C-alpha cells in the first residue's frame, strides 16, 4: 500500500487526482439518484431513467480514468489514440453502465451483487482499453496487478450494489463506486511501467483532444449533477405536496390502514385504524416493531396469547407472500372488518381494514333467502342440489329419501292454505327430529321433502320407516285435527355419478310407493328406471296415437240365449302401433287414466261406436266400456249426448259398462250420475261382477240394466263347485231383482249349455265370436265378423 501511495505521489499530479476523485464522487452520487428514479418508475419513463443511469455511470468511470491520466507521468510526452479512447468510453457505458442500471429492476440482493461484480469487471475492462489508447511510450503491465485491479473493482461494486434498495442513500454506494474505480485504476497503474520512445512527434494534439474529451465529460457530469439536484428538489417539493394531500386523504378515508416496512416496523397508520381498534391514547407510534403494534392492539382487544401469536404469524406471512386472500375479523364491538394486504414495491406491505358489517349482514340475509325455504325454514331446492352434487363427488355412503305427503291436497281444499302451510311446517319439524344429525333435510317444493341419510341401507330404511310413522300421527292445526301420511322413495347413492339420475331413481321409487297404496317406503330396484323410461316412451306414443289414426275398434258379439240370436256387440278399443304392433289394453288403458288422456280417448270411442252401430240392422245395440276416471268426469254426459246426436243412434241401443271399482266411492253421487245416464235412454251394465268390491247394496242402490258375470267364474264353473255356485247365485239373483245377466268368456259348448240350463239371459265369448273389425266399406254390410255358435 505504501509503495502504491509513493508511486501515486511520484508519477501523478495531485491536482488531477483530486479532480478525478471529485468527478468520481459526483458520478457515484448521480448514478444513485438516477437509479433510484428508475426503480420507482414504470414503463417508458423507467426506460429513460435506466438509459440515463447507464450513460452517466459509464461516462463517469471514463472521465475519472482520463482525468487521472491527464496528470500521469508529466515527464513523458504521452498521447492517446482517438479511436481506442472513444471505444473505451463505449465500453464504460456498456460494461459498467448497463449492469448498474439493471440493479433497478431486480429484487434479489444476490442478483444485484452479481450485477455489481459485472460492473466492477467492466471498470477493469474500460481501464485496460483506456491504457491501450496510450501512445508515445513503451508500456508493460504486471499480470498480478491487473488481476488485483479487476478483483478489487468487482468486490467493491458487488458490495455497493448488494446494499442498494428502491430508494437507497447515495453515501454507501458512492463510497463503494469510488473505491471500485480508484482501486481498479491505481492498482493497475501501480503495476504499469512506461518507457520513453525516441523522436516522438504529434503527441500534443492527441493530448489536447483528450483534454477536451475529459473536460466535456466532466462538464456533462457536473451539469447532469446540477440538473438532477434541481429535478430532485422539484420532485421533492411535489412529493411534499402529494404527501400532504395523501396524509389528508389517508386520515379521512373510511378504511383503516397501516404500512409495515420490510424490516417489520410500523411505517404508517391512519386515524381510522386507531378508531376501529380503540387505540386512542395507547401509544401507537411510527417506528414500532410489528410485535409492539400487536401488543398495543391485543391489549385493547383483550386477546389471549394464542391470538397474539396468530396475529404475529399473519403479519409475517403478509410481508413475505405476494398474494394473500382477504379475511374477516370481528372487532370487540361486534363490527366486522375485512383485512386485505398488498405488497409494496421495494419491500413492506400495506394492510387495509374495511368495515363490511352491513355488507356481511346483507349477504347473510341473501344467503338465507337463497338457500332456505321461507315457510318451513328448511334448506331449499338449491341447497339440496349443492349438497347432492357434493355427496356424489365424495366417497361418503349416503341414501336419498324422497318424501311426498298423501292427502295433502284434501287438507288444503278442506281447511284452506293457511292450515296447509302450518301442516308443512309441522311435518318438516317431525322429519328433522326423526332424521336427526345423521342426515340433511330440505323442502323441494309443494309437499315434497328430500332427505339425505348418511350411513348404511339398514339405517336409511329405519329412518324412512320412522318418518312414515311420525307423519302418520295426527296433527293439531288451529283447532283442527288433521291426519295425513306420506310415501317415500328410497335410493342408494352408491354407483351413481349423476345427480339427475339419482333424482330419477328416487322419483321412480316414490311412484312405486304411491302405486302400491301410499303410506309406505319403496326402495329403488335395478330395472325400475328403465321401466319408467319405457313407460314415458309409451305415454309419448299414446299422446300421438289418436292424431295418427292408430286406434280402431273391434266388436265382439253378444248372443241372447232364448232366441240364439246376436242382439248386439261390445266395442273394444285396440291400438295398433307401427313399431310395437298391437299394444294390449291392459298396458295403455291404465296409463291413459293416469295421464288424463282417457277422457279424449273415451269420447272418440263413444263417437266411433255410435256411428258404426247406427248402420247395424235389427235394432242391435252396442256396449261401450267407461273407465272410472271417465265416470267421475262431468264431461261424460255431454260426450254421450253429443255422440248420440251426431250418429243418430237411438239411446236405447247404447249400453255403457262400468266396473265395480267405479261404483264404490260416493254412493249418492254415483246413483245420481247413473240416473242421469238412464234418463237419456242409455242402458247401464255392471261389468266383471264378483271380482271387484262386490256388494249386494250396489244392486239395490244403483239403477242397472244388466249384470255381466266375469269370465273367471264361467271358465271354472264346470269343474269347480264353488265357481258353479257363484254363477248360479248371480243368475238367480238377477232374475229375482229383474236385472238380466250376461256371462263373459264362453269358449266351449259345455259352458254354453251350463249357462243355458242355469237361466242366464245372454252370453259372449270366443265360442260366439271373437272381437273383430268391420267387414268392409259397404254401409249395408258394416256388421262385424263373428263365429257362429
CATH number at residue 328: 3.30.450.20
Label residue 769 left, alpha or beta by phi (over 0 means left) and psi (-120 to 50 means alpha): left
pLDDT at residue 209 tops 60? no
Q: How many other C-beta atoms can be found within 10 angstroms of the C-beta atom of residue 541?
A: 18
Is-contact 417 424, C-beta < 8 A? Answer: no
Task: Judge whether 334 lies within some domain.
Answer: yes
How many DSSP H helices and E strands does the chain contain?
28, 25
Q: How far apart are CA 422 and CA 476, in angstroms?
A: 10
Tell me the helix, strand and coil percentages in the chain, rounded to 5: 55, 20, 25
Q: Are residues 552 and 657 in the same domain?
A: yes
Mean pLDDT value across the chain: 82
pLDDT at residue 616 tops 90? yes
Task: Judge whether 350 lies within some domain.
Answer: yes
Cβ neighbours of residue 409 closer than 8 Å, sequence gap 6 or more? none
Q: Are residues 219 and 285 in the same domain?
A: no
Task: Judge whether 787 lies within some domain.
Answer: no
For residue 785, what pLDDT is reported?
Answer: 47
Q: Are residues 91 and 212 in the same domain?
A: yes
Q: Are strands 551-560 and 565-577 parallel, antiparallel or unpaired?
A: antiparallel
pLDDT at residue 379 tops 50? yes
Q: Are residues 662 and 701 in the same domain?
A: yes
Q: How far apart are CA 369 and CA 535, in angstroms?
A: 38
For residue 227, what pLDDT is reported?
Answer: 63
Q: What are the Cα distances from residue 461, in Å, to 399, 435, 559?
A: 9, 11, 56
Summarised one tens digit per residue, pLDDT across range 392-417 is 888 889 999 999 999 888 888 888 88
Q: How many other C-beta atoms can be found within 10 angstroms of the C-beta atom of residue 480?
A: 15
For residue 778, what pLDDT is reported?
Answer: 39
For residue 602, what pLDDT is reported?
Answer: 93
Higher pLDDT, 323 or 620: 620
Backbone φ and ψ of 12, nearest 5°: -125, 155
Is-contact 11 73, C-beta < 8 A? Answer: yes
Cβ neighbours of residue 351 closer than 8 Å, sequence gap 6 or more? 257, 258, 259, 260, 315, 318, 339, 340, 341
DSSP state, residue 703: -
For residue 569, what pLDDT is reported?
Answer: 96
Backbone φ and ψ of 653, nearest 5°: -95, 5
Q: Are residues 563 and 520 in the same domain?
A: no
Predicted TM-score (pTM) of this structure? 0.51
Task: Judge whether 789 lies within some domain.
Answer: no
Summarised one tens digit per residue, pLDDT across range 504-523 is 889 999 988 888 888 899 99
Q: Are residues 285 and 407 in the same domain?
A: no
Q: How confident is the model at residue 670 (pLDDT cuts 50, 70, 90)?
A: confident
Q: Are residues 27 and 84 in the same domain?
A: yes
Q: Are residues 619 and 743 in the same domain?
A: yes
Lowest mean pLDDT among 136-145, 220-229, 273-282: 220-229
Q: How far apart are CA 85 and CA 134, in angstroms?
A: 9
Q: How far apart are CA 487 and CA 512, in angstroms?
A: 9
Which whole number is the average pLDDT over 622-642?
91
Q: Is the dihedral of CA 511, 517, 521, 526 positive or negative?
A: negative
For residue 780, what pLDDT is reported?
Answer: 38
Give the residue among 254, 258, 284 at the shortest CA–CA distance from 272.
Answer: 254
Beta bridge partners of 683: 655
Lowest mean pLDDT among 209-218, 378-387, 588-597, 711-720: 209-218
Most confident of 457-461, 494-498, 621-625: 621-625
pLDDT at residue 215 tops 60? no
Summarised one tens digit per residue, pLDDT across range 237-254 is 665 565 566 666 666 676
Lowest mean pLDDT among 11-15, 165-169, 195-199, 299-303: 165-169
Lowest mean pLDDT among 36-45, 279-288, 535-544: 279-288
Q: Are residues 96 and 218 in the same domain?
A: yes
Label residue 644 left, alpha or beta by phi (over 0 means left) and psi (-120 to 50 means alpha): alpha
Is-contact 57 100, C-beta < 8 A? Answer: yes
Which whole number is the average pLDDT over 756-783?
77
Which whole number is the average pLDDT over 753-776?
89
Q: How far apart are CA 157 and CA 332, in angstroms?
A: 53
| Residue positions annotated with a catalytic role | 744
Query: For the chain, first and last CA: distance in Å?
Result: 145
Q: How confident is the model at residue 42 (pLDDT cuts 50, 70, 90)?
A: confident
Is-contact 190 3, C-beta < 8 A? Answer: yes
Q: Which domain holds residue 173?
A: 2-232
Task: Judge whether 726 lies within some domain.
Answer: yes
Can you give the CATH number for the domain in which 497 is found?
Answer: 3.30.70.270
Give the residue among 442, 540, 452, 443 at the shortest CA–CA distance from 490.
Answer: 452
Which whole number is the average pLDDT over 102-121?
87
pLDDT at residue 768 tops 90? yes
Backbone φ and ψ of 183, nearest 5°: -65, -45
Higher pLDDT, 519 or 787: 519
Which whole number is the average pLDDT over 450-454?
93
Task: Judge whether 326 lies within some domain.
Answer: yes
Which whole number is the average pLDDT over 710-729?
90
Is-contact 286 268, C-beta < 8 A? Answer: yes
Q: Are residues 12 and 142 in the same domain?
A: yes
Can you give the CATH number for the domain in which 638 is found?
Answer: 3.20.20.450
pLDDT at residue 776 tops 50? no
For residue 156, what pLDDT is reported?
Answer: 87
Higher pLDDT, 22 or 762: 762
DSSP state, residue 522: E
CA angle, residues 235, 236, 238, in degrees to nearest 5: 65
Task: Judge whether 241 lies within some domain.
Answer: no
Q: Are residues 446 and 477 in the same domain?
A: yes
Summarised one tens digit per residue, pLDDT across range 701-711 is 778 899 999 89
Kindly write down the DSSP assignment for every residue of 640-693, as one continuous string.
Answer: HHHHHHHH---GGGEEEEEEGGGGSS-HHHHHHHHHHHHHTT-EEEEEEETSSS
Percent of the chain at pLDDT > 70 equals 84
Is-contact 26 221, C-beta < 8 A? Answer: yes
Q: How far apart are CA 660 and CA 288, in angstroms?
A: 95
Lowest mean pLDDT among 116-125, 269-278, 431-440, 721-730: 269-278
Q: How many other C-beta atoms can be found within 10 angstroms of the C-beta atom of residue 696?
A: 9
Beta bridge partners of 646: none
pLDDT at residue 12 tops 60? yes
For residue 52, what pLDDT is reported?
Answer: 84
Give the residue among 402, 594, 431, 405 at the shortest CA–CA distance from 504.
Answer: 402
Task: Judge whether 243 lies within some domain.
Answer: no
Q: How confident is the model at residue 781 (pLDDT cuts 50, 70, 90)?
A: very low
For residue 247, what pLDDT is reported?
Answer: 62
Q: Are residues 342 and 211 in the same domain?
A: no
Q: How far apart are CA 551 and CA 606, in angstroms?
A: 13
Domain total in the chain: 4
Amino acid at each position: 500500500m505504501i509503495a502504491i501511495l509513493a508511486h501515486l505521489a511520484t508519477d501523478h499530479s495531485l491536482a488531477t487526482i483530486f479532480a478525478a476523485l471529485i468527478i468520481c464522487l459526483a458520478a457515484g452520487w448521480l448514478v444513485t439518484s438516477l437509479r433510484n428514479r428508475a426503480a420507482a418508475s414504470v414503463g417508458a419513463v423507467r426506460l429513460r431513467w435506466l438509459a440515463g443511469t447507464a450513460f452517466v455511470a459509464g461516462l463517469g468511470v471514463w472521465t475519472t480514468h482520463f482525468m487521472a491520466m491527464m496528470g500521469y507521468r508529466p515527464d513523458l510526452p504521452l498521447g492517446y489514440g482517438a479511436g481506442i479512447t472513444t471505444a473505451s468510453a463505449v465500453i464504460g457505458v456498456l460494461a459498467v453502465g448497463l449492469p448498474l442500471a439493471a440493479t433497478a429492476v431486480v429484487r434479489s440482493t444476490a442478483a444485484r451483487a452479481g450485477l455489481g461484480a459485472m460492473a466492477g469487471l467492466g471498470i477493469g475492462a474500460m481501464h485496460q482499453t483506456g491504457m491501450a489508447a496510450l501512445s508515445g511510450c513503451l508500456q508493460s503491465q504486471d499480470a498480478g496487478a491487473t488481476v488485483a485491479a479487476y478483483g478489487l473493482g468487482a468486490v467493491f461494486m458487488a458490495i455497493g450494489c448488494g446494499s442498494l434498495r428502491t430508494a437507497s442513500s447515495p453515501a454507501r454506494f458512492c463510497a463503494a463506486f469510488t473505491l471500485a474505480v480508484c482501486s481498479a485504476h491505481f492498482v493497475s497503474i501501480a503495476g504499469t511501467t512506461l518507457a520513453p520512445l525516441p523522436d516522438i512527434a504529434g503527441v500534443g494534439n492527441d493530448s489536447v483532444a483528450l483534454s477536451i474529451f475529459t473536460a466535456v465529460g466532466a462538464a456533462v457530469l457536473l451539469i447532469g449533477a446540477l440538473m438532477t439536484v434541481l429535478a430532485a428538489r422539484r420532485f421533492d417539493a411535489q412529493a411534499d405536496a402529494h404527501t400532504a394531500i395523501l396524509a389528508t386523504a389517508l386520515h379521512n378515508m373510511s378504511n383503516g390502514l397501516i404500512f409495515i416496512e420490510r424490516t417489520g416496523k410500523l411505517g404508517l397508520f391512519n386515524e381510522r385504524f386507531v378508531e376501529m381498534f380503540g387505540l386512542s391514547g395507547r401509544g401507537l407510534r411510527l417506528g414500532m416493531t410489528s410485535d409492539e403494534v400487536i401488543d398495543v392492539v391485543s391489549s385493547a382487544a383483550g386477546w389471549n396469547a394464542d391470538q397474539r401469536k396468530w396475529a404475529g404469524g399473519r403479519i409475517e406471512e403478509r410481508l413475505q407472500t405476494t398474494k394473500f386472500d382477504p379475511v374477516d375479523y370481528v372487532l370487540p364491538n361486534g363490527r366486522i372488518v375485512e383485512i386485505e394486504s398488498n405488497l409494496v414495491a421495494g419491500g413492506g406491505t400495506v394492510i387495509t381494514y374495511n368495515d363490511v358489517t352491513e355488507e356481511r349482514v346483507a349477504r347473510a340475509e341473501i344467503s338465507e333467502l337463497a338457500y332456505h325455504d321461507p315457510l318451513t325454514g328448511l334448506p331449499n331446492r338449491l341447497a339440496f342440489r349443492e349438497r347432492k352434487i357434493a355427496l356424489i363427488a365424495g366417497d361418503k355412503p349416503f341414501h336419498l329419501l324422497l318424501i311426498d305427503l298423501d292427502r295433502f291436497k284434501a287438507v288444503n281444499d278442506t281447511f284452506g292454505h293457511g292450515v296447509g302451510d302450518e301442516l308443512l311446517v309441522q311435518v318438516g319439524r317431525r322429519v328433522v327430529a326423526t332424521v336427526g344429525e345423521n342426515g340433511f333435510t330440505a323442502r323441494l317444493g309443494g309437499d315434497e321433502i328430500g332427505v339425505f341419510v348418511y350411513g348404511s341401507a339398514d339405517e336409511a330404511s329405519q329412518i324412512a320407516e320412522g318418518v312414515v310413522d311420525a307423519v302418520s300421527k295426527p296433527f293439531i292445526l288451529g283447532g283442527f285435527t288433521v291426519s295425513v301420511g306420506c310415501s317415500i322413495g328410497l335410493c342408494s347413492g352408491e354407483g351413481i355419478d349423476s345427480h339427475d339420475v339419482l333424482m330419477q331413481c328416487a322419483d321412480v321409487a316414490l311412484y312405486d310407493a304411491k302405486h302400491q297404496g301410499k303410506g309406505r317406503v319403496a326402495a329403488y330396484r335395478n330395472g325400475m328406471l328403465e321401466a319408467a323410461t319405457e313407460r314415458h316412451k309409451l305415454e309419448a306414443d299414446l299422446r300421438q296415437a289418436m292424431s295418427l289414426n292408430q286406434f280402431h275398434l273391434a266388436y265382439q258379439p253378444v248372443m241372447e240365449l232364448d232366441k240364439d240370436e246376436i242382439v248386439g256387440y261390445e266395442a273394444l278399443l285396440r291400438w295398433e302401433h307401427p313399431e310395437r304392433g298391437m299394444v294390449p289394453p291392459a298396458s295403455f288403458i291404465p296409463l291413459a287414466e293416469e295421464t288424463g288422456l282417457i277422457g279424449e280417448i273415451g269420447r272418440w270411442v263413444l263417437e266411433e261406436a255410435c256411428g258404426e252401430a247406427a248402420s247395424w240392422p235389427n235394432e242391435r245395440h252396442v256396449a261401450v266400456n267407461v273407465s272410472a276416471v271417465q265416470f267421475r268426469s262431468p264431461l261424460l254426459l255431454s260426450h254421450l249426448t253429443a255422440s248420440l246426436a251426431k250418429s243418430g243412434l237411438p239411446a236405447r241401443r247404447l249400453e255403457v259398462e262400468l266396473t265395480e271399482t267405479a261404483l264404490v266411492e260416493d254412493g249418492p253421487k254415483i246413483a245420481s250420475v247413473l240416473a242421469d245416464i238412464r234418463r237419456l235412454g242409455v242402458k247401464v251394465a255392471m261389468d266383471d261382477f264378483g271380482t271387484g268390491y262386490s256388494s249386494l247394496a250396489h244392486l239395490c242402490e244403483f239403477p242397472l240394466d244388466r249384470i255381466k258375470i266375469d269370465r273367471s267364474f264361467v271358465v271354472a264353473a264346470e269343474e269347480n263347485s264353488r265357481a258353479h255356485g257363484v254363477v248360479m247365485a248371480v243368475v238367480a239373483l238377477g232374475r229375482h231383482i229383474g236385472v238380466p245377466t250376461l256371462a263373459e268368456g264362453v269358449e266351449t259348448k259345455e259352458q254354453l249349455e251350463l249357462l243355458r240350463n242355469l237361466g242366464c239371459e245372454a252370453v259372449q265369448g270366443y265360442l260366439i265370436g271373437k272381437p273383430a273389425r268391420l267387414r268392409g266399406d259397404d254401409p249395408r254390410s258394416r256388421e262385424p265378423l263373428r263365429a257362429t255358435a
